[in-house]
Structure 1
Amino acid sequence: MSVISVLLAAIAPGVALLAYFYLKDRYETEPIHLVGKMFLFGILLVFPVMVLQRAFVHGFGDDPFVFSFLISSGVEEFLKWFLIYFLVFRHGKFDEPYDGIVYSVAVSLGFATLENVFYAFLNSASISTLLLRAFLPVSGHAMFGVMMGYHLGKAKFNPKQRNRQLIYSLILPIFWHGVFDYVLLSAKTYWIWIMLPLMAFLWGRSLWNVNRANAKSPLRVLRRDEQVEM
């Protein structure tokens, strides 16, 4: 299999999922250059994550529970959250709840895409293996991004619940990412029977979050008023 084929197979799932969630914005899609910038920041985030995770493994060992919930999900989701909160949470283009989902998914899938490229070349992965990874870790990162972005959107547009929603936007992705990793590390022979319902739940919940975020858009009311005036 050629280098180009492997590279395209590793990159395609992340780009396709980002396009899917980008186009789910019903009322006002975000600037492509800003979404692309967040995707790029997600790619660059892989390098400090690798350094920190290596340091934590030396300090805490490789116990599956500690690795799953602290070293893997804790480090990755916190740095994604930190990046989104300080770069786009107060940005003027973040003007409806669904925007939190778009930007969080962009960062998450940028991270997942480079991670997938590294895996493909370091493990000489086949196309079938990359397809499995598209269903599991790549789409998993997208689901964690949806969770994070949904609650960031609620935090921005519901000041009374801001602190609580900010906590949810960090804790929930860490928890579900940790569950995801722990299943893969611990259930060596029967992981698929746990992973299938887990992914079905995460996808179902994510689509519900997408619909709820769109339904809360202030632009929805503006569009409705414009139609009435016409």
Structure 2
Amino acid sequence: MLLFSILTAAIAPGVALLTYLYLKDRYDSEPIHLVLKLFLTGMLIVVPIMVIQRGIELFLGSHPLLFSFGLSGGVEEVVKWFVLYHIIYNHTEFDEPYDGIVYAASISLGFATIENILYAVYFPSTFTTLMLRALLPVSGHALFGIMMGYYFGKAKFAPRRSARRLLAVSLLLPVGLHGLYDWIITSEISEIAWGIVPFMAFLWIWGLVKIGRANARSPFRIVGREEGVKL
């Protein structure tokens, strides 16, 4: 019974955040089965990511900056981006900019959920600990996914020359933000570690702005207006 409670507390934040982002799609919601597929894919990529991280660590060591921007931010975001691109970029259901946010967040939160489950099972976890993880690592992955998905969605509907630049931003921005997050939270200097609070607040504000802008670019928003005029 205790294990069930711990697992529920570990899974709930990722599911809740994904539900929130899914419901923020104001004009053309994505198929549930496709969102779940990407969420489960995010869970499955944990194993190859861990293998890659271990290989790099054995070869190059684990310097704090290498860990933050390479092993954690770099490897995790590159693999998520690679999977996202090959599964969804040319999919017919990817038909508005906000879809990029939904799909990227699905993969990110699937990964974060497995990460949270592993932490809860292998380390003594209290309700307070799991709540802190919901506010920091899990929501962090959601926010990195929002940034990735926002520029992914812009790239999808941009001219080819601009699309390449936006795709690069959709990869490099989450890598940088994820690396900075890990560098702050693992710092042994308390003044730096406490910086995670304003950093996360800034990311949430920025993320909500991106959500609004992505919805505003939906072609279905214009169609809805035209139909409203006809009525």
- Tell me the TM-score normalised to structure 2 length: 0.97
Distance 1:86 1:111 in 2: 17
Q: How much does 1:72 deviate?
A: 0.7
Determine the structure 1 residue equivalent to 2:146: 146
How far did residue 124 of structure 1 move? 1.8
1:200 match: secondary structure? helix
**2:79 is equivalent to residue 88 of structure 1:** no
Matched AA of 1:30 = E
Letter in 2 for 1:165: L
The CA distance in 2 between the partners of 1:8 and 1:190, in whole Å, is: 34
Cα deviation for residue 10 of structure 1 reads 0.2
TM superposition shift of 1:186: 1.6
Whole-angstrom distance in 2 between the partners of 1:61 and 1:49: 16
- How far the C-alpha of 1:60 sits from its partner, in A, is 1.3
Amino acid at match of 1:130: L
Letter in 1 for 2:106: A
| Structure-2 residue corresponding to 1:24 | 24
| 1:111 paired residue number | 111
Distance 2:101 2:44 in 1: 20
**Aligned match of 1:57:** 57
2:200 equivalent in structure 1: 199
Residue 182 of structure 2: aligned partner: 181
Q: How far apart are 1:192 and its partner, in Å? A: 4.8
Aligned residue pairs, count: 230
Say whether residues 1:69 and 2:72 are aligned partners.
no
* Residues 58 and 171 of structure 1, relative CA distance in 2, 3 Å threshold: same
Report the 3-state secondary structure (helix = DSSP H, G, I; strand = E; otherwise coil) of the residue aligned with 1:186. Answer: coil
Letter of the aligned partner of 2:190 in structure 1?
T
Structure 2 spans left out of the alignment, 5+ residues: none
**Match for 2:23: what amino acid?**
L
Deviations 1:133-166 (A, max 9, x none): 0000000000000000000000001124101100
Could you say if the C-alpha distance between residues 192 and 64 of structure 1 is closer, same or farther in structure 2, counting changes exceeding 3 Å? closer
SS, match of residue 124 in structure 1: coil
RMSD: 1.0
Q: Distance in 2 between matches of 1:213 and 1:140?
A: 19
Alpha-carbon offset, residue 187 of structure 1: 3.8
Partner of 1:4: 4
- Relative to the length of structure 1, the TM-score reads 0.98
Q: 2:187·2:193 contact (CA, 8 Å) conserved in 1?
A: no
Superposition deviation, residue 184 in structure 1: 1.4
Q: SS of 2:190's equivalent?
A: coil
Name structure 1 gaps, 5 residues minimum. none
Give % identity.
54
